[in-house]
């Protein structure tokens, strides 16, 4: 019998969520077969079997499991399976497996489910409920009795959604007890009318964030709590950049041309060459400056906000950057961007111009020193040589970590970006 444990699929991964078992419990799998889809802090990955045999599933779909914990076992065909009641034939409990601990195996196999400690009111022993470790923990928190409950999981196993549904139908004993001892409070004369479910806000729907959303929330909170940031804003005359893109489209004859955002990525990469402190971070009381210039491009997808990285963006041509970013967009829609593509960034670009946003302030992506927010490109009034004209302009907002870049350094860096965009020929030949 081979244990399948939660693998480390990214450097920052601490736990993973089981999204889908590709074979069913009891199926024979071969070494190298696709086994399970796991959601990590960065992406959804498919993990392959490292042994051949019959699959026994330990962690059900929807369960979040720490690194190293057993999620399945692969046994020899015909071998006696481990018990499903939370104890295997060696006496290891489900809770122990979830915590990544295996107790020593007992010498004598157990043929029948072990009774739970304690006895029912009528003196008969109650069998331990067939439930996942996560379901047991949530049931304990909500005060839900699992005795006699049949779940919707494989072979009737009780899973988290069964516990939550039971709590929603009847309310937990804890809640009931609290209601029974709560003092009566007269209604206020002008109190808001309660909805049918008893709350003024109406029905409440609780949505659990995905692993990617959880990590994003934690990193953004870390950024605002630890980095003393400030933002600089500037308007850019994009007339020449728009004209260059038109010329490139004519030459390509229907093939996709680099976008304005691709030009921004290239301009940032070239500016980072000239301002190496912007291509670094402040960590552990010291400056870290990076030799490679890797620009992250923020993408809004159905799977959450992703920031895949254009590696060595300063050395890539405008066409290479365009093809790389288009590939990110396509794979982002499919949820197929890999963890290596989401790491290694030294600077980030976030563009909300396609939503018509004039300008906005982006949150730093720690530990990076800066992030550029790109607004909508539109024709606006512009003063040129004392004359009021209409030009294609765009607002840029640069947010920086003040611990590594001061105001003058940040202004010089942003000015260099603007210079590249207003003389876009340098983007095509640098």
Q: Where are the domains of the chain?
A: 2-98, 118-176, 221-428
CATH architecture, domain 118-176: Irregular (4.10)
Closest CA to 164 of 143, 191, 187, 188: 143
- pLDDT score of 284 more than 80: yes
pLDDT at 124: 37
Active site residue 402: yes
C-alpha to C-alpha distances, 324 to 43, 98, 259, nearest whole angstrom = 18, 40, 12
pLDDT at 191: 53
CATH dotted code for 2-98: 2.40.50.100
| pLDDT, average across residues 318-337 | 91
| Structural contact between residues 296 and 308, judged by C-beta atoms closer than 8 angstroms | yes
d(CA 383, CA 239): 13
Which pLDDT tens digit goes with each residue over 193-225? 555 555 788 888 888 887 778 878 888 898 888
105 versus 159: the higher-pLDDT residue is 159
Split at pLDDT 50, 70, 90, the class of 154 is low
pLDDT at 171: 53
As a whole-number percent, the residues of the chain with pLDDT over 90 amount to 44
Most confident stretch, 61-65, 79-83, 127-131, 361-365:
361-365
Lowest mean pLDDT among 157-166, 258-267, 385-394, 414-423: 157-166
Which pLDDT tens digit goes with each residue over 99-142? 443 433 333 343 334 433 353 333 333 345 777 666 777 788 78
Q: Quick one: fold of 221-428?
A: Chloramphenicol Acetyltransferase (3.30.559)
166 versus 364: the higher-pLDDT residue is 364
What mean pLDDT value characterizes the chain?
81
DSSP state of 233: E
| pLDDT, average across residues 270-284 | 95
Split at pLDDT 50, 70, 90, the class of 181 is very low
The residue count of the chain comes to 430
Parallel, antiparallel, or unpaired for β 347-351 and 370-374?
A: parallel
As a whole-number percent, the residues of the chain with pLDDT over 70 amount to 78
| Structural contact between residues 266 and 427, judged by C-beta atoms closer than 8 angstroms | yes
- pLDDT score of 323 more than 80: yes
Determine which one of 249, 273, 402, 426 is catalytic: 402
- pLDDT score of 237 more than 80: yes
Closest CA to 72 of 97, 107, 44, 103: 97
pLDDT at 190: 52
Contacts 24+ apart (CB under 8 A), 141-147: 142/167, 142/172, 142/174, 143/167, 143/172, 143/173, 143/174, 143/175, 144/172, 145/173
76 versus 396: the higher-pLDDT residue is 396
DSSP state of 24: P
Which pLDDT tens digit goes with each residue over 27-56? 888 888 889 988 876 677 888 888 889 999
- pLDDT score of 6 more than 50: yes
């Amino acid at each position: 019998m081979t244990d399948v444990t939660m693998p480390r699929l990214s450097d920052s991964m601490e736990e993973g969520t089981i999204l889908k078992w590709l074979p069913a419990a009891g199926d024979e799998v071969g070494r190298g077969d696709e086994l399970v889809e796991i959601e990590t802090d960065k992406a959804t990955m498919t993990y392959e079997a490292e042994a051949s045999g019959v699959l026994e599933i330990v962690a059900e779909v929807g369960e979040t499991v720490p690194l190293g914990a057993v999620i399945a076992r692969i046994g020899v065909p015909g071998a006696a399976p481990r018990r499903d009641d939370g104890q295997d034939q060696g006496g290891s409990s489900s809770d122990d497996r979830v915590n990544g601990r295996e107790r020593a195996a007992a010498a004598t196999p157990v043929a029948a489910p072990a009774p739970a400690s304690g006895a029912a009111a009528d003196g008969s022993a109650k069998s331990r409920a067939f439930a996942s470790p996560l379901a047991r923990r949530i049931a304990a928190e909500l005060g839900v009795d699992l005795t006699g409950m049949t779940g919707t999981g494989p072979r009737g196993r009780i899973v988290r959604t069964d516990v939550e549904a039971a709590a929603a139908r009847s309310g937990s004993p804890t809640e009931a007890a609290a209601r029974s001892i709560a003092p009566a409070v007269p209604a206020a004369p002008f109190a808001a009318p309660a909805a049918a479910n008893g709350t003024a806000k109406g029905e409440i729907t609780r949505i659990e964030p995905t692993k990617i959303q959880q990590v994003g929330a934690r990193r953004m909170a870390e950024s605002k709590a630890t980095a003393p940031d400030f933002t600089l804003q500037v308007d850019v005359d994009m007339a020449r950049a728009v004209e260059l893109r038109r010329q490139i489209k004519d030459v390509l004859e229907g093939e996709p041309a680099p976008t304005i955002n691709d030009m921004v990525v290239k301009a940032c990469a070239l500016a980072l060459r000239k301002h190496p402190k912007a291509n670094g971070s402040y960590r552990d009381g010291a400056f870290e400056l990076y030799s490679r210039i890797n620009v992250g491009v923020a993408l809004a997808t159905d799977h959450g906000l992703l920031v895949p990285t254009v590696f060595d963006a300063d050395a890539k041509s405008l066409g290479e950057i365009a093809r790389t970013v288009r590939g990110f967009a396509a794979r982002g829609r499919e949820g197929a961007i890999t963890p290596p593509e989401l790491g290694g960034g030294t600077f980030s670009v976030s563009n909300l111009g396609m939503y018509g946003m004039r300008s906005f302030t982006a949150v730093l992506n720690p530990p990076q020193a800066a992030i550029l927010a790109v607004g909508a490109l539109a024709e606006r009034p512009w003063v040129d040589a004392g004359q009021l004209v209409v030009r294609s302009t765009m607002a840029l907002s640069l947010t920086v970590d003040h611990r590594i870049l001061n105001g003058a350094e940040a202004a010089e860096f942003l000015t260099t970006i603007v210079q590249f965009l207003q003389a876009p020929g340098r983007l095509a030949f640098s």
